Copies of this chain bind each other. A is one copy, B any other.
Amino acid sequence: MTASTQQRTRHFCDTCAIRNRAICADLENQEIDLLNTIGRRRTLAPGEQLLWEGDEAVLVANVIDGVLKLSTQTSDGREQILGLTYPSDFLGRPFGETTPYGVEALTEAQVCVFERRDFDRFAREHPRLEHRLLERTLAELDRTRRWMLLLGRMNAEQKLAAFLLEMVDRLGVNSATDNGAALTLPLSRQQIADVLGLTIETVSRQFTRMKNEGLIDLPSRREVVILDRGALEDRAA
């Protein structure tokens, strides 16, 4: 909304926090200018939905700031979160007819959105961009497959430990990879359960157990302090 006035500003991307990490990183200034003309910024409030599962795939986007979830539902309405996206990640289904999952902002988020058709055309004309997108998609596929191991073969404790470690890494918490790192979870207990394929009660019990065992501290519902990363890594097996 605030972005609409800037839509054609020449140096729109110059101030972009993810300019050098997103799929647009390798583009020449001239190409960036062109990309500017088809993209626009959009701010999302927590809980706001960007894409709906099964809809025609009209939009794709780069995540500039915030965390969003990709999710799908079972026929009886339970949810499975398929992935989380963080700044510099790419979102949506280029070269596809329908959106394969819903996308919802978990925190306040800023995205750089494109009409899918515009983006598809631009990508086909700019192999450097398409290459970056390919690299990203391959990496995402690897990550997703590793997550399958978690869902298929790990117990509740291993799942939660792995989740917390992934959170620490992805949210880039300070505390120099060491103990004492404090993170603010962008997810509710229910959403964590939906990521891990568990119920909310099981997640809650595991949190309490880890706290009692001194692995973590829970100053508030949304905050976690990592007290013993090594032990957590052992639990994640």
Q: Which residues of A contact B (CB under 8 A)?
A: 70, 72, 74-76, 78, 80, 82-83, 93-96, 100-101, 124, 127, 130-131, 133-135, 137-138, 140-142, 144-149, 151-154, 196-197, 237
Inter-chain contact B149/A80, CB cutoff 8 Å: yes
Contact between chains at A145 and B82 (CB < 8 Å):
yes
> A95 — which chain B residues lie within 8 A by C-beta?
134-135, 138
Closest beta carbon of chain B to A62's beta carbon, Å: 16
Q: What are 24 A-B contacts defined by CB distance under 8 Å?
A: A70-B145, A72-B145, A74-B154, A74-B237, A78-B153, A80-B148, A80-B149, A80-B153, A82-B149, A94-B138, A95-B135, A96-B138, A96-B142, A124-B131, A127-B130, A130-B134, A134-B134, A137-B141, A140-B141, A148-B148, A148-B151, A151-B197, A152-B196, A153-B197
CA distance A145 to B147 in the complex (A): 10
B153 and A148 contact, CB distance less than 8 A: no
A-B contacts besides A94-B138, A95-B138, 11 pairs, CB < 8 Å: A74-B149, A75-B237, A82-B148, A95-B135, A100-B145, A133-B134, A141-B144, A144-B145, A148-B148, A151-B197, A152-B197
Which listed residue (B101, B124, B137) contacts A138, Cβ 8 A? B137
* A interface: dominant SS: helix
